Structure 1
Amino acid sequence: MKDKLRSQGWFGKTGKDGFIYRAWMKNQGIPDYEFRGKPVIGICNTWSELTPCNAHFRELAESVKRGISEAGGFPVEFPVMSLGETLIKPTAMLYRNLASMDVEESIRANPVDGVVLLCGCDKTTPSLVMGAASVNIPTLVVSGGPMLTGKFQGRDISTSDVWRFNDAVRAGEMTQEDLTVAEACMCRSRGHCAVMGTASTMACMVESLGLSLPGNAAIPAADSRRKVLAQMSGVRIVEMVKENLRMSDILTREAFENAIITNAAIGGSTNFIIHLLAIAGRMGVPLELQDFDKLSRNVPFIVNLQPSGKYFMEDLYYAGGLPPVMKELDGHLHGGCMTVNGRTIKENYDTTETYNREVIATVDKPFNPLSGVAILRGNLCENGAVIKPSAASPHLLKHTGKAVVFEDIEDYKNRIDDPALPLDENSVLVLKNVGPIGYPGMPEVGNMAMPKKILAKGIHDMVRISDGRMSGTGFGTVILHASPEAALGGNFAVIQNGDMISLDVANRSLTLEVSDEELTRRKKAWKPIHKKYDRGYVSLYQKHVQQAHLGADMDYLVGGSGSEVTRDSH
């Protein structure tokens, strides 16, 4: 194995070159035998105090290191750009592709034989997986885990309640003082969001893909068993290097289908779609937006978690975690897919049990027969749009109403609470220019806050459409990722106030009731209003980012680079 280790291209050299590589590493107090044929395992760490979800990763990395050393490996921890969804502006999604480049080049340029990815907050998981997929060496993911369920005024709360609290304050039903108290009650432990938001969805995604050890997705961050899983992952990555079990052996088309089916059953975040498409693009696995609808359509919603259901990630863990969920889906899944522990996905879930049927239902008696995701088509979104039926209001899943159009986010903020705004509960709110290019990064503003005068009627949902995204903790009859986005001047760009829009989720249609001739006339007169950036990464992003239906990756990052160093000068 020694001769095959990638790291020996650095540490196995004799003469001046080997001397330089080893000598500088030895200033950290590392003995010589560590460099003599041990598998070098990189721990790719997104720890940052600006990423609160990942703030416990220094400690988690120590558990991974113990496992690597125990198995005869040489652990080396390295940082990469960390994306904290809660703080970073304008949106962490703008920097997902940049972070993936950091990961890819950090792995490819350094003497590592395998890598453990430490990720938790929303974009840290897809960015790390995308970057590692492009290099394609043995890789294993360890998620940070969800925080403990919040407790406020005698009831359970979570990040999904942010939207409810906001509406309650605006409607005069909750005081600012109570809101301040709720802040500390909601985020009371280490970890990422406690619901099936994007972070939890990403943890379920990597487990259903086979990239993590079984049980990874649901163990709470504060639970000591999270550290145990991290240590076991350190042991296993050394074995994976010896077996040369790479990402391409795991991330097959069938594995991607398993992830899509699982996501539908758990009511996962709509952001799952955009991230999985990007990962598939890096692996060279053909995957299209329509695949998500085709594979999800007959999959019932069986995991009763907020925002689509009642419970929390902590409850999912106590009910058995993700493996018994996948066991319920056995008839839908490709059981023979290989996973990082060297066993098939079916072998991993086959002997597991469900301990709480209030949390994990059966396929025969689901909590909701509607799948977690639906892909809409029509002249309003020629390349597709996304809706999460399980989080929508049933009476709005077939609806026709007049468009109330906001040209950009500033227009929305300035007018949404104007008493003179011409709308009622049957109107359809349309927000433009918040797509990948139009509002660089495609922020999570699609679940627009309701107008005050509608809230005053006691109504808390309307049909809302945008070319942006929505937080995985959000809910409502919200249509997202309309493609092509308004910044490109397609049909979505020329919707006008008063246009009739028809939604029919059962038939997967989203129609702008305007003639082709009129749309053509409008498009000829259309002029872009989005800001164009002329320097740095954002300029590069606007010029090269793909549309949402392709995963919003950079066009020049699709595919892989391989593990060979760009040019070895030594």
Structure 2
Amino acid sequence: MAQELNKYSKVVTQDPTQPAAQAMLHAIGLSDEDLKKPLIGIASTGFEGNPCNMHLNDLAVEVKKGVSAVDWVGLIFNTIGVSDGISMGTDGMRYSLPSRDIIADSMETVVNAQAYDALIAVTGCDKNMPGALIAMGRLDRPSIIIYGGTIAPGCYKGEALDVVSAFEALGKKQANTISEEDFKGVVANACPGPGACGGMYTANTMASAIEALGLCLPYGSSNPAQSSQKKEECYQAGKAMKDLIKNDLTPRKIVTRASFENAIALVTVLGGSTNAVLHLLAVAHAFDIPLTLEDFAEISSKTPYLADLKPSGKYLMEDLHKAGGIPGVMKLMLEKGLLNGDCMTVTGKTIAENLADLPELNSSQDIIHPIEKPLKSSGHLRILKGNLAPEGAVAKITGKEGEIFEGAARVYDGEFAANDGIAKGEIQAGDVVVIRYEGPKGGPGMPEMLKPTSAIMGKGLGKSVALITDGRFSGGTHGFVVGHISPEAFTGGPLALVENGDIIRIDAIENSISLKVSGEELDKRKQKLTPRAAKHHSGTLYKYVKLVSSASLGCITDQ
């Protein structure tokens, strides 16, 4: 049996011509009996510099205990992380999306190079999870993802807070609607300890998508970071790996086209981050499953938006967990025909089988609206196309801001210029803020625009100003916003041709985004357009610019 279960590790542990490898494994404390057992790689994205990740190394130890409980060998290794919240609004944010590929590459590298039989990834912040998913799709060895869990809400003067509260407090400060004392009070109390950002931002969005994909244990996406349930989940994941290896149940046998449709539907119901579009496209590519922007458009058009969760709503993931968690939401979706229950999961059971014995959402909860009374009858994720975005763009339109916006362009070449303009009061009601040269190649790294969108909200302009960009948005962004405009300005996309005062129309009903300038005029502007020089000539971002695809394809780097 051991030879069957350790089909990868036996190359180094059982081959008599590999004595040096075996000697080194003895050096780390493994016995001859241990070398006959499967070796489970436990990848932790833990590091001290970020609340999302600060506790993950401890959770990895709990996972290892679960692996040891089935008398197998768990070996912890680490990879990197980038804190979006800390790097936001700085040049450091340009490293955030590229870190997804570094994480994927490093997990793939260690598991293959060390001949591990399986992978359990312990992840926290936004790019950790899609990075781990990409690695799992490439490796196709038995795998489970552990999400580090959501942070507890902060509190100041009786108001529940999260990290976006701190960003929006800056806008209030600039608008002189908050005192210096209260500004500092919000900043000091917004994030009380370990865990990822508490609303339905990118971390919780991707964790939920992973549960819908079937690659974590039930409640894995909603168990809070500091809960006893999260600790127990880690232990049980180690034990669950035993059945995965015995049955050779690998990610590609679990994740199908229908699994991705489930993930998109769940993200839509929850009002999740636009980053889910970017990441799920890249993950599908790693699994060799066709997925396009049109698929998001189709699923969003027939899926209601139900969750009153931040940033557009008022509740946090911890509140949803208490009300029944993501399994409760999935059970509702299954009953209403919005979820395919036949999809397999890491438990060895289908989604329907997992949900059968789990409780429904609490009858008294008001976080998830009834399907008959949705917040919006169709999804908030809108895929827009038009002469400004021939390859597509991704909008997050909840309906609270309206569904059509037309206004004059206020153009900024880069986020920093936009931030300065907003702070100086250059933005007026009715404007369409254009932030360009922030795409995958132009940024480079397609940074998130949470700082300018939060400043706009903080100034009270959230319902009267739109913002469009070839960059992307944090899951914490809300308002009338359109990102991922493709092709990007840096590669000569139409966004590079926009001038101050041009009229832009965004229509989330017709799913269009158009620049009301004649084709003849645009041709004249294009002839005068001077190509931009790359900002980096060496290092990680230089390599990223050379490899990265359009956002419309998910910013993949191995096409």
TM-superposed deviation, 1:536: 2.2
Over residues 460-511 of structure 1, what are the superposed CA-to-partner deviations in whole Å (9 max), with x where a residue is unaligned? 6411100011110121111111000000112111011111111111110111
Is the contact between residue 243 and residue 348 of structure 2 (CA under 8 Å) also seen in structure 1? no
Task: Select 2:478's aligned residue among 467, 472, 475.
Answer: 475
- Which whole-Å CA distance do the structure 2 matches of 1:174 and 1:513 have between them? 39
Task: Select 1:144's aligned residue among 134, 145, 148.
Answer: 148
Q: 1:459 to 1:295 in 2, by over 3 A?
A: closer
1:291 matched residue in structure 2: 295
1:566 matched residue in structure 2: none
Task: Select 2:352's aligned residue among 346, 356, 361.
Answer: 346
Match of 1:479, SS? strand
Over residues 434-474 of structure 1, what are the superposed CA-to-partner deviations in whole Å (9 max), with x where a residue is unaligned? 1111111101116624788x977876641110001111012
- Which whole-Å CA distance do the structure 1 matches of 2:459 and 2:267 have between them? 35
2:224 matched residue in structure 1: 220
TM-superposed deviation, 1:413: 3.5
Is the contact between residue 378 and residue 509 of structure 1 (CA under 8 Å) also seen in structure 2? yes
- Which whole-Å CA distance do the structure 2 matches of 1:258 and 1:176 have between them? 45
Is the contact between residue 71 and residue 235 of structure 1 (CA under 8 Å) also seen in structure 2? yes
- Which whole-Å CA distance do the structure 2 matches of 1:124 and 1:170 have between them? 33
Match of 1:148, SS? coil
Amino acid at match of 2:361: T
1:366 and 2:374 correspond: yes
Amino acid at match of 1:408: G
Mind listing any 5+ residue stretches in structure 2 that lack a counterpart?
Answer: none
CA RMSD of aligned residues (A): 1.9
- Which whole-Å CA distance do the structure 1 matches of 2:450 and 2:520 have between them? 29
Amino acid at match of 2:72: G
- Which whole-Å CA distance do the structure 2 matches of 1:3 and 1:29 have between them? 21
- Which whole-Å CA distance do the structure 1 matches of 2:111 and 2:22 have between them? 18
Residue correspondence of structure 1 range 352-391 to structure 2 within 5 A: 352-355=359-362, 356-390=364-398
TM-superposed deviation, 1:305: 1.0
Is the contact between residue 373 and residue 388 of structure 1 (CA under 8 Å) also seen in structure 2? yes
- Which whole-Å CA distance do the structure 2 matches of 1:373 and 1:156 have between them? 26
Q: 1:457 to 1:338 in 2, by over 3 A?
A: closer
- Which whole-Å CA distance do the structure 1 matches of 2:546 and 2:312 have between them? 36
Amino acid at match of 2:407: G
TM-superposed deviation, 1:309: 1.3
TM-score in terms of structure 2 length: 0.94
Residue correspondence of structure 1 range 28-43 to structure 2 within 5 A: 28-36=28-36, 38-43=37-42
2:332 matched residue in structure 1: 328
TM-superposed deviation, 1:372: 2.7
Residue correspondence of structure 1 range 193-232 to structure 2 within 5 A: 193-232=197-236
Task: Select 2:492's aligned residue among 489, 493, 509.
Answer: 489
TM-superposed deviation, 1:361: 2.5
Task: Select 1:9's aligned residue among 8, 11, 21.
Answer: 11
Moved more, 82-91 or 226-235: 82-91
1:246 and 2:231 correspond: no
1:48 and 2:58 correspond: no
Q: 1:522 to 1:312 in 2, by over 3 A?
A: same
Is the contact between residue 167 and residue 449 of structure 1 (CA under 8 Å) also seen in structure 2? no
Is the contact between residue 447 and residue 476 of structure 1 (CA under 8 Å) also seen in structure 2? no
2:179 matched residue in structure 1: 175
- Which whole-Å CA distance do the structure 2 matches of 1:533 and 1:369 have between them? 45
Is the contact between residue 151 and residue 193 of structure 2 (CA under 8 Å) also seen in structure 1? yes
Over residues 154-183 of structure 1, what are the superposed CA-to-partner deviations in whole Å (9 max), with x where a residue is unaligned? 121112323331221111121233222223
- Which whole-Å CA distance do the structure 2 matches of 1:249 and 1:457 have between them? 49
Residue correspondence of structure 1 range 402-481 to structure 2 within 5 A: 402-418=408-424, 421=426, 424-445=428-449, 448-449=452-453, 461-481=464-484
- Which whole-Å CA distance do the structure 2 matches of 1:456 and 1:508 have between them? 28
Q: 1:353 to 1:538 in 2, by over 3 A?
A: same
- Which whole-Å CA distance do the structure 1 matches of 2:380 and 2:406 have between them? 22
TM-superposed deviation, 1:203: 0.7
TM-superposed deviation, 1:240: 0.5
Over residues 49-87 of structure 1, what are the superposed CA-to-partner deviations in whole Å (9 max), with x where a residue is unaligned? 123311111211121111111122111111112232233
Match of 2:485, SS? strand
TM-superposed deviation, 1:368: 3.3
1:517 matched residue in structure 2: 520
Q: Give the share of equivalent positions with the same residue, in percent.
A: 33
Is the contact between residue 93 and residue 448 of structure 2 (CA under 8 Å) also seen in structure 1? no
- Which whole-Å CA distance do the structure 2 matches of 1:285 and 1:196 have between them? 26
- Which whole-Å CA distance do the structure 2 matches of 1:446 and 1:521 have between them? 34
Is the contact between residue 84 and residue 93 of structure 2 (CA under 8 Å) also seen in structure 1? no
Amino acid at match of 1:300: P
TM-superposed deviation, 1:426: 1.0
Mind listing any 5+ residue stretches in structure 1 that lack a counterpart?
Answer: 559-570
- Which whole-Å CA distance do the structure 2 matches of 1:54 and 1:236 have between them? 23
Is the contact between residue 170 and residue 455 of structure 2 (CA under 8 Å) also seen in structure 1? no
Match of 2:372, SS? coil
1:567 matched residue in structure 2: none
1:310 matched residue in structure 2: 314
Amino acid at match of 1:400: E
Amino acid at match of 1:335: G
Over residues 311-354 of structure 1, what are the superposed CA-to-partner deviations in whole Å (9 max), with x where a residue is unaligned? 11111110111111112212022210101100111212234311
Over residues 213-246 of structure 1, what are the superposed CA-to-partner deviations in whole Å (9 max), with x where a residue is unaligned? 1110111111111010111000011221111111
Match of 1:47, SS? coil
- Which whole-Å CA distance do the structure 1 matches of 2:313 and 2:459 have between them? 25
Is the contact between residue 83 and residue 95 of structure 1 (CA under 8 Å) also seen in structure 2? yes
Task: Select 2:272's aligned residue among 268, 272, 288.
Answer: 268
1:184 matched residue in structure 2: 188
Is the contact between residue 446 and residue 480 of structure 1 (CA under 8 Å) also seen in structure 2? no
Is the contact between residue 306 and residue 370 of structure 2 (CA under 8 Å) also seen in structure 1? yes
Is the contact between residue 40 and residue 113 of structure 1 (CA under 8 Å) also seen in structure 2? yes
1:82 matched residue in structure 2: 81
Moved more, 407-416 or 97-106: 407-416
- Which whole-Å CA distance do the structure 2 matches of 1:133 and 1:459 have between them? 39
Over residues 282-318 of structure 1, what are the superposed CA-to-partner deviations in whole Å (9 max), with x where a residue is unaligned? 1110000111010111211222211121111111110
Q: 1:498 to 1:9 in 2, by over 3 A?
A: same
Match of 1:238, SS? helix
Amino acid at match of 2:238: G
TM-score in terms of structure 1 length: 0.92
Task: Select 2:118's aligned residue among 114, 119, 128.
Answer: 114
Is the contact between residue 377 and residue 509 of structure 1 (CA under 8 Å) also seen in structure 2? yes
Is the contact between residue 159 and residue 195 of structure 1 (CA under 8 Å) also seen in structure 2? no
Is the contact between residue 120 and residue 203 of structure 1 (CA under 8 Å) also seen in structure 2? no
Match of 1:151, SS? strand
Is the contact between residue 462 and residue 479 of structure 2 (CA under 8 Å) also seen in structure 1? no
Amino acid at match of 1:373: L
- Which whole-Å CA distance do the structure 2 matches of 1:461 and 1:450 have between them? 14
Q: 1:446 to 1:83 in 2, by over 3 A?
A: closer
- Which whole-Å CA distance do the structure 2 matches of 1:447 and 1:53 have between them? 19
1:394 matched residue in structure 2: 401
Match of 2:452, SS? coil
